[in-house]
Structure 1
Amino acid sequence: MSIFPSMAFLQQNFETLSLHHALTLLAFYQLSRWLYRSMVVSPPFKGIPGPKPASWFSGNLGQLFNAKGLPFHQHLSDFYGGTVKVYGFFGDEQLYISDPLAIQAILGKEQECFDETAVFLEANKIIFGPGLVSTTGELHKRQRKLAAPMFSTAQLAKIAPTFYDIAEKLVDVLQREVNDQLSLTHSANTEEENDEKRVGCAVLDVSEWSCRVSLEAAGRAILGYSFDPLDSPVSNPYTTAIKELIPTLFSLALVRQFAPFLSKLGPAWFRRKLVEWTPNRKVQKVKATSDLMHESAKAILKERRAQRLDEANLGSGDGGRAKDLISMLLQANARAAPEERMGDDELTGQMAVLIFGAQDTTSSVMPRVFSLLATHPDVQLNVREEIRNAYARMRQHDGYDTDYVNGKARLDQETLMGLPWLDAVVKETLRLYPPVPFVRRTCTKEASIPYTRTIPDNSNTSVASLASVSIPKDTTFFLSIAGCNRMRSVWGDDAGEWKPERWLESPQPYSKDVKIPGAFSGMLSFLGGGRSCIGYRFAMLEMKIVLATVLSRLVFSPTEDRIVWNLAQITSPSVCRAVEREGRVSVEETKALPLFAAFDDACG
């Protein structure tokens, strides 16, 4: 019998403790647990390679949750192999997994043994409410069952015109932005200005515009609500709040490890007060964003219900033709059996999650696509010619199933989704640069999973053999999405290169010997299993419509700025520039991705 207090005892008594005492007791518990394991329990992952802990207190967590940590993540997979031992608090042994065999088991046949971590669930419950990212078990399955039909091909066809409306508006706004910059440059007419900018080109922050268009697309397609009509020179406050939420949460990664314990501190109103009293700017920013999302969701839900009631009273109901996804969800919820219906808290939670999830992927992937095309002009030309040729064929053939709105032609969904170069560029970008490089899971009961043991030799190659590892209950581990997507054993020796043409040479350019249970194209970018990304088709349709519409008109090329990609759970770009203040030069980072842009071939 252990002389140390049990976790059950601590959780049962947290409600009567002050915050100070609770944190002190928690630290004592973790230290006691570490001492007990180090003296009595055999290390669970003895023999599995990995780096030494960087800190006796936080292990490797400071490296794994570092904004500049992308190289460290890649180093783990490249140097140690697909199954790596890393350390959490007080020497807690964890795993960092990118091995396809292990991932098959975790997301496939053994998925009932693994779930989201308590840290992830409790933090999301606080921020989003009881939505898809904060529920488990039967409740999660019920919510997913109600939400899944919203993302069917038939339903997405209804919202495709909304995406086109927004993409065309974006092009109009960008054209004004380019013209305004060129007018100012022409008026200045200085040699310095002409040296700084290419003739006929303006500088656009494609990251900022991608964030704005992603939120507007999510708002109008999901909620039927416009957050940002793109006309204003500055983004909507909601855009700014959403954009800063994930980086802020990521910077609080070590603090968030205590979320499961803090969630036991008294009733909900008391926990909210604790957050209000916390003298931390980042915590208050997260609270403000959470409040903004929650209040917006409640107001929009009330508006949608009133609209449906008015339509019913007037006999002009949509008859199943609702074009925003929340209206579809309300219809499905009304038709569901009473025991399966979502309450208002669940509905508003779903709305917040859907808006956030719908925009975070596209706002990360689209800037990366624009940046890669800017540095690969030959690929950009192939994509542009393919899009323009599709429009040309459309105009030449009478009876072609094409939509015209305000005199503007629109490719039908089948043609758009079937454009080979555009498809290859999006897939390859998602493979090599997944917007979420890793997720974490916890083992809900002891499980044994297979993996490939890699042993380096003296010739810069390695010898692989099959092995298995027993994962104790309550073990936390990392699933490396980026690492699995770059495994040479799956994708070939050029797995670390951005090569869209690999998707043109074969629709399945990966090893047939290993099946990765990903939801999309044999990769993990949208995860897999019971917690895969429910809206990946939504994201793919939106991205392709926006990219096709913009690339058919604009040419992008790189500026001289140094761009770095930061890890904030979701990757995001920053520009590094030298700034002189009081005679001292320093390098400052700003969230942006500037590219030269011009309409047609003005940059050529």
Structure 2
Amino acid sequence: MALLQAVVFAGLAWLALKLVRRIIANQSSPLNNIPGPQRASTLKSFVFGDLPLFFGRYAWPFHQEIWRKYDAVVRINGFFGKSMLYVYDPKALHHIVVKDQYIYEETSVFLKFSALQSGCVWRRPVGELGHKQQRKILNPVFHTNHMRHMVPTFYRITHQLRNALANQVKDGQKETDILNWMTRTALELVGQGGLGHSFDKLDRDELNPFAENVKDLIPTFAPLFLFMQFLPLVLRAGTAGFRRKILELIPSKRIRRCMEIVDDMDRVSRSILAQKKALLAQGDAAMEHQVGEGKDIMSVLLKANLQAIKEDKMGDEELLGHMSSLIFAAMETTSGALARILQQLSEHQGVQDKLREEIKQARGDKEQIEYDELMALPYLEAVCRETLRLYSPATQMTRVATKDIVLPFSTPIRGTDGTMVSEIAVPKGTGICVGILASNVNKAIWGPDADQWRPDRWLEPLPESVTEARIPGVYSNLMTFLGGGRACIGFKFSQLEMKIVLSVLLETFRFTPADKDVYWNFSGVQFPTIGKDGRRAKMPMRVELVGK
């Protein structure tokens, strides 16, 4: 207890010093000329700023108001009155994620997890050199040629899912938690295709404890995001074990649950890595007889890492970080995207029928649709693009300016002083929020129907406003997978997963909405619950065999 009191005292002293510095800096900040929500009027709003409204699971109204009221660069009130920028102007985004990407460094919420466990999960490279070294090793395993090797594995897993669902609805339509099935499937896809490890046989309707843990991570951790900002000394001081001891002294069930989840992911990652390294030491023959036949991402990565020159090699902690990131990011975002697509198809039966017919014609009398033909199916691509545009799983991403820099805009905005502003001097230490979803639904770019789900827009010529905007995303003029050197390296992997799952399921099943109020929580990664106050991620849907 004395240790906790000492940490609390040190934290309060740190906050007091930072508060004085912040008040002085904010009085002359150039960001004051950027329009944004009104500044704090109460002590609570001064301490937390707009962040509870901005990052919370119920953030939809706040964001929609910002999109309606302000331009594409907005000043947001952060902790203790410090200003941060919310950005979805295309030129500004280009500078943040491409041109000056190594000045705008990551401040991912996942870096906070290092305080929750005794190991080291999600260790990320910092700076240009670190990222380029890792991308040099990682790029080949996410190349299109390597994705083709994944196709048989992905089909085999999806056929297991189809058989399990068919058995469940063989006697007629049945309501099922489609998110649970998509979560388990996405975990098995990334398990076999990414890690060469099987998590789930998908042979019965049951919960997968590990998948449930990973799925619970965002709902459990999201409310702690603001709390973690008040533990700067805990997050930075001492070893991971020391930080863990401090957090264990805090009487919070939520923190303990987070530690349980992260510990489980760390345990599983370490176990898989040890098995992979042991098989690798036995030679290629041993690798070929494991799950994934040695063609999974981690097997290829380990081989490439052994052959890399000394300065490019990744240690075990970095490899573990990639494994945990792959498990979480690939499972959480892909399962959410698949659930969203199926939800939209259930609510638009005409689109579902049209897509089902395209898939049936493409497969014909073949056992499966091959990679190139599957990826080229126009209506399947349109449905996926439109869902990833309007319902991007990741809503935003945070960065911090590591030095003073000027940020230019595509379109000048009117400053609070009445002048037109075409660029802003961004002070070192300024937080930047990249508006992924905001860019995707920006009516100035996508037109007045930007907030409508309309797959046919991708079968028509895109408006000049889209093509001329030069949005710096790596995928279809969208920011869904970000852009630049830190773009989602596995976006082709995710696309292949989604298209194979959809192509197999839609030929066999019809999906219709369940009589439940499904609410999609905003958060950093969107997730559905039954009603706004639902505590568990869940999305029920009615499923039946086609023709029944």
**Normalising by the residue count of structure 2, what TM-score does the alignment of the two structures yield?**
0.92
User: Which aligned pairs between 1:120-519 and structure 2 lie closer than 5 A?
Assistant: 121-123=111-113, 129=120, 131=122, 133=124, 135-179=126-170, 182=171, 200-258=172-230, 260-311=232-283, 322-392=294-364, 395=365, 409-451=367-409, 452-454=411-413, 467-506=422-461, 511-519=466-474
The Cα of 1:443 is off from its aligned counterpart by 0.6
CA distance in 1, matches of 2:215, 2:287: 41
CA distance in 1, matches of 2:288, 2:129: 36
Of residues 533, 543, 561 in structure 1, which corresponds to 2:488? 533
What is the SS of the residue equivalent to 2:425?
strand
- With 588-597 and 429-438 compared, the bigger mean Cα shift is at 588-597
Q: Tell me, yes or no, if structure 1 residue 26 matches structure 2 residue 17.
A: no
Q: Structure 2 vs 1, CA of residues 126 and 521 (structure 1 numbering), >3 Å: closer, same or farther?
A: farther
The aligned residue for residue 89 of structure 2 is: 99
Aligned residue for 1:398?
none
Maintained 8 Å contact 2:195/2:296:
yes
| AA in 1 matched with 2:88 | S
The offset of 1:132, in angstroms, is 6.2
Partner of 1:548: 503
> 2:288, 2:203 → 1: CA distance?
32
Q: Tell me the equivalent position of 1:77.
A: 67
> Counterpart in 1 of 2:33?
47
Cα distance, 1:568 vs. partner?
2.8
SS at 1:435 equivalent: coil
- Alpha-carbon distance in 1 for matches of 2:277, 2:76: 49
**In 1, distance between residues paired with 2:107 and 2:5?**
24
Contact 2:395 2:523 in 1 (8 A): no
Q: Is residue 73–residue 87 contact of structure 2 (8 Å, CA) maintained in 1? A: yes
Unaligned residue ranges in structure 2 (runs of 5+): none
Q: Is the 8 A contact 1:105 1:111 kept in 2?
A: yes
Write the letter of the residue equivalent to 1:158.
H
Q: C-alpha separation between the residues in 1 aligned to 2:446 and 2:296?
A: 38
- The residue identity in structure 2 corresponding to 1:50 is G
Amino acid of the structure 2 residue aligned with 1:67: R
- What is the percentage of aligned positions where both structures have the same residue? 35
Whether 2:32 is the aligned partner of 1:60: answer no
Equivalent residues of 1:502, 1:509 under 8 A apart: no
CA contact (8 A) 2:154 2:189 kept: yes
8 Å CA contact retained: 2:446, 2:463: no
Q: Retained in 1: the 8 A contact 2:50–2:76?
A: yes
With 463-472 and 425-434 compared, the bigger mean Cα shift is at 463-472
C-alpha distance in 2 between matches for 1:256 and 1:317: 44
**Closer, same or farther: CA 269–313 of 1 in aligned 2, 3 Å:** same
Shift of 1:351: 1.2
Q: Give the distance between the partners of 1:592 and 1:321, measured in 2 at CA.
A: 34
CA distance in 2, matches of 1:280, 1:99: 40
Deviation of residue 312 (structure 1)?
5.6
Deviates most, 28-37 or 484-493: 28-37
The more displaced of 434-443 and 338-347 is 338-347
CA distance in 1, matches of 2:308, 2:199: 30
Letter in 2 for 1:226: S
Cα shift at 1:410 = 1.0
Cα RMSD over matched residues? Answer: 2.7
Change (3 A) 1:535 1:493: same
Matched, 1:559 2:545: no
Q: 1:67 to 1:588 in 2, by over 3 A?
A: closer
Q: How many pairs are equivalent?
A: 537
Aligned counterparts of 1:235 and 1:167: Cα–Cα separation in 2: 17
Distance 1:74 1:252, change over 3 A: same
The residue type paired with residue 24 of structure 2 is Y
Match of 2:23 among 35, 40, 47: 35
Quick one: structure 1 residues 290 and 95, their matched pair in 2 at CA, closer, same or farther if it must change by over 3 Å?
same
TM-superposed deviation, 1:94:
1.0
| 8 Å Cα contact 1:67-1:567 kept in structure 2 | yes
CA distance in 2, matches of 1:571, 1:315: 37
Post-superposition Cα deviations, 1:471-516, rounded to whole Å, max 9, x if no partner, equal 1110002111011111122212211111100111137886222101
3-state SS in 1 of match to 2:454: coil
Q: Which moved more, 1:549-558 or 1:304-313?
A: 304-313
Distance 1:330 1:118, change over 3 A: closer
Tell me the TM-score normalised to structure 1 length.
0.83
Q: Distance between the aligned counterparts of 2:5 and 2:379, measured in 1? A: 60
Q: Secondary structure at the match of 2:175?
A: strand
User: In the TM superposition, what is the alpha-carbon distance from 1:112 to its structure 2 partner?
Assistant: 3.0
Q: 3-state DSSP class of the match of 1:379?
A: helix
Gaps of 5+ in 1: 1-14, 183-199, 396-401, 403-408, 457-462, 578-586
Q: Distance in 2 between matches of 1:510 and 1:545?
A: 32
Question: 3-state SS of the aligned residue for 1:378?
Answer: helix
Is the CA contact (8 Å cut-off) linking 2:518 and 2:539 kept in structure 1?
yes
Alpha-carbon deviation of 1:311? Answer: 3.5
Higher Cα radius of gyration: 1
What's the counterpart of residue 569 of structure 1? 524
- Whole-Å Cα distance in 2 between the matches of residues 212 and 430 of structure 1? 20
Secondary structure of 1:111's counterpart equals: coil
| Displacement after TM superposition at 1:250 (Å) | 1.3
Post-superposition offset of 1:76: 1.1
Gap change, CA 1:466 and 1:265, over 3 Å in 2: closer
Q: Which amino acid aligns with 2:488?
A: C
* 1:314 Cα deviation after fit: 7.7
Q: Any conservation in 1 of the 2:287–2:294 contact (CA below 8 Å)?
A: no
